[in-house]
Amino acid sequence: MKSNFFEKNVLITGGLGFVGSNLAINLVDQGAIVTILDSLAMEFGGNLFNIDSVKDKVSVNISDMRDSQSLNALVREKDFIFHLAGQVSHSDSMRNPKMDLEVNCISTVNLLEACRKFNSGARIIYTSTRQVYGNPIELPVTEKHPVMPIDVNGINKLSGEYYHLLYDKIYNIRSTVLRLTNTYGPRQQIRNNSQGFVGIFTRKALKKEVINIFGDGSQLRDFNYIDDVVNALILSALTDDCYGQVFNLGSPDHYSLIDFVSILHNITGVDYVLVPFPEDKKLIDIGDYYGDYSKFSDITGWHPYTNLNKGLELSISFFRAHSQKYIT
């Protein structure tokens, strides 16, 4: 039986990054005709090795989405566009807010304008972040929770959501927004600290370096393994009722940071120490967070299937096998 993506033309922005590369591999396996657009900036997670297994089966365009001319050509005749490119570091967004604005907002407007002019029939899936909620008022967080970003990245990702929803409503450029939580797994950028604590802790565990946990380590989080996130992206693209809407991803389980590191310890033997919160990071820490994904589940049937123990085992195994490409 042929996949719904068989011979469909798909554009993945940020396709050399963590989520994009895993999605590209999956779609190639389904027979899709995949084009990747990526700036190949390491700080954003771009890594050609991420698509090594399908490098002869995808088209790769190395360019910056802030250049609208390249987008005008690339969006033509695409059936689906997965807009995954972006700057995700909350700390970097505070240090360089203009860069974050350009990467997360100007690039998004360029993409939507290109679609409006040259391919208004494309279906767009946009990945946002749970950071748009800021400090949760109540848990679990539903899509009805107020959006109160506490850093520049959260503001710009929320703006990106509004742009997609506006173009969906006014120009009928069908768009879906998925708010991702802590995503982890093979091909994640772990070489530097730009993609959050999961990548930092994973790298330190692999190198047997003591992990610094800020605060008392009781902060609660939910986690999604990359295969589950890819499945969510695919389901959202194929489900008509998803367009024009915003959805949380999440997990039925939530863990403290100490719980997370304890699992890494069981796999790698890494140790941790509790340290005071650096003031700049404490100001933008959201405290406890775990989301309610029932709205998305009810519409698509999606559920995360990989628990944290299994997912971290798979992740560590992958990075050990390819350490030169991701760590050294």
The residues, ordered by sequence, that sit 6+ positions from 78 with a Cβ below 8 Å of its Cβ are 9, 10, 11, 35, 119, 122
Distance, in Å, from the CA atom of 104 to the CA atom of 66, rounded to the nearest integer, reads 10
| Mean pLDDT score across all residues of the chain | 95
Tell me the angle at which helices 107-118 and 152-171 cross, rounded to the nearest 10 degrees. 10
Max Cα separation, the chain?
56
Instruction: Report, at the CATH architecture level, how domain 9-185+223-250+290-306 is classified.
Output: 3-Layer(aba) Sandwich (3.40)
> What mean pLDDT do residues 10-28 have?
97
Distance, in Å, from the CA atom of 7 to the CA atom of 200, rounded to the nearest integer, reads 38
Give the range with max mean pLDDT: 22-26, 70-74, 190-194: 22-26
| pLDDT at 287 exceeding the cut of 80 | yes
Please give the structure tokens belonging to residue 209: 């370096």
| pLDDT at 101 exceeding the cut of 80 | yes
pLDDT tens readout for residues 118-161:
999 999 999 999 999 999 999 999 999 999 999 999 999 999 99
Give the sign of the dihedral formed by CA 137, CA 306, CA 5, CA 36.
Answer: positive
> What mean pLDDT do residues 291-313 have?
98
Number of Cβ within 10 Å of residue 213's Cβ equals: 20
Confidence of residue 43 (pLDDT cuts 50, 70, 90): confident
pLDDT of residue 35: 98
pLDDT of residue 224: 98
pLDDT of residue 100: 93
Dihedral angle over CA of 188, 194, 197, 198, nearest 10 = 0
Residue with the bigger pLDDT between 328 and 75: it is: 75
Contact (Cβ atoms closer than 8 angstroms) between residue 151 and residue 131: yes
Distance, in Å, from the CA atom of 161 to the CA atom of 151, rounded to the nearest integer, reads 16
Confidence of residue 1 (pLDDT cuts 50, 70, 90): confident
pLDDT of residue 90: 82
Amino acid identity for residue 264 in this structure: L
Contact (Cβ atoms closer than 8 angstroms) between residue 53 and residue 85: no
The residues, ordered by sequence, that sit 6+ positions from 144 with a Cβ below 8 Å of its Cβ are none
SS3 state at 36? strand
> What mean pLDDT do residues 235-263 have?
98
Q: Which is it for strands 9-13 and 220-221: parallel, antiparallel or unpaired?
A: unpaired
> Residue 319's closest CA among 28, 18, 89?
18
Residue with the bigger pLDDT between 92 and 295: it is: 295
* Percent with pLDDT over 70 in the chain: 100
pLDDT tens readout for residues 59-92:
999 999 988 888 999 999 999 999 999 988 888 8
Q: Is this prediction's pTM over 0.75?
A: yes
Amino acid identity for residue 128 in this structure: S
| pLDDT at 42 exceeding the cut of 80 | no
| pLDDT at 328 exceeding the cut of 80 | no
> What mean pLDDT do residues 289-305 have?
98
pLDDT of residue 312: 98
> What mean pLDDT do residues 159-180 have?
98
pLDDT of residue 204: 97
- Show me where the domains of the chain are located: 9-185+223-250+290-306
Exposure of 121 by Cβ count < 10 A (0-12 exposed, 13-18 middle, 19+ buried)? exposed
- The contacts found for 65-70 with CB under 8 angstroms, 24 or more apart, are 65/13, 65/37, 65/39, 65/103, 65/107, 65/110, 65/111, 66/102, 66/103, 66/106, 66/107, 66/110, 67/110, 68/110, 68/113, 68/114, 70/37
